[in-house]
Amino acid sequence: MNKIVLITGATSGIGLACAKKFAENGDKLILTGRNEQRLTEICQELTGKGSKVLTLVFDVRDREKVKQCLDTLPADWQDIDVLVNNAGLALGLEPEYEGCFDDWDTMIDTNIKGLLTLTRLIVPKMVQRNSGHVINVGSVAGDAAYAGGNVYCATKAAVKALSDGLRIDVAPTAVRVTNLKPGLVETNFSNTRFHGDNDRAANVYKGIKPLTGDDIADVAVYAANAPAHVQIAEVLILATHQASGSVIVRK
């Protein structure tokens, strides 16, 4: 049965890859992001291929705007089956004692509080229906800190704890919770981390074949379509020559 899938941060990277993979699966999509023009372009592309798509323009940090947008959903789009909490980012790679306060606030407000906002607003209806699935995009960085990762790693450790906690909370129901933990994925992630420094971002992927957004989206779609009695609780996805968040063999 086709599902209604809401994906945050759907304009690029893993979020966009998830949008395309779930569309190929025949699911209806609610795509969210801050870039209205990009959302419109993606919507036109996917609807042109026969998919049903709605777009919502908001920053997950703006709790009131998120609520307002969700309240505008047509009645036949309100029963969201799959929530993909993908919106997130890393900013900076400085030692913790030299970090930027604004960067810290942006990461915490997006990666943790934004995820919580969507979860709080959408999961109650899943519980009422006794059906639904939350897929949180965490990171290998949530397993152990690496040099310069400090606050970003802390936010992804929080995603793991929040995923585990939610799974406990909904255990009496048929709602499932999955934490996807990607390693090195070549998207605009590093460009964002280094505030648009393309050369520095490119160096992150030198000497290794990194994962792609499609690789992570494949796992998300698999988890969402596992048999009802199967809960893919957590998946760590690494490039072949990456052993952990800090061990990467380059050639």
Among all residues, which ones are annotated catalytic? Answer: 152
Write phi, then psi, for 31 (nearest 5 degrees). -105, 130
- Give, for 134, the enclosing helix (H) or strand (E): strand 133-137
What are the residues whose beta carbons fall under 8 Å from the beta carbon of 143, sequence distance 6 or more? Answer: 157, 160, 181, 236, 244, 245
Sheet with strand 176-182: strands edge to edge: 53-57, 28-33, 4-7, 82-85, 133-137, 176-182, 234-237
Write phi, then psi, for 159 (nearest 5 degrees). -60, -40
Tokens encoding 15: 């979020």
The DSSP string of 20-60 is HHHHHTT-EEEEEES-HHHHHHHHHHHHTTT--EEEEE--T
Tokens encoding 76: 């036949």
Residue position matching structure tokens 């792609």: 212
Measure the CA–CA gap between 209 and 169, rounded to whole angstroms: 38
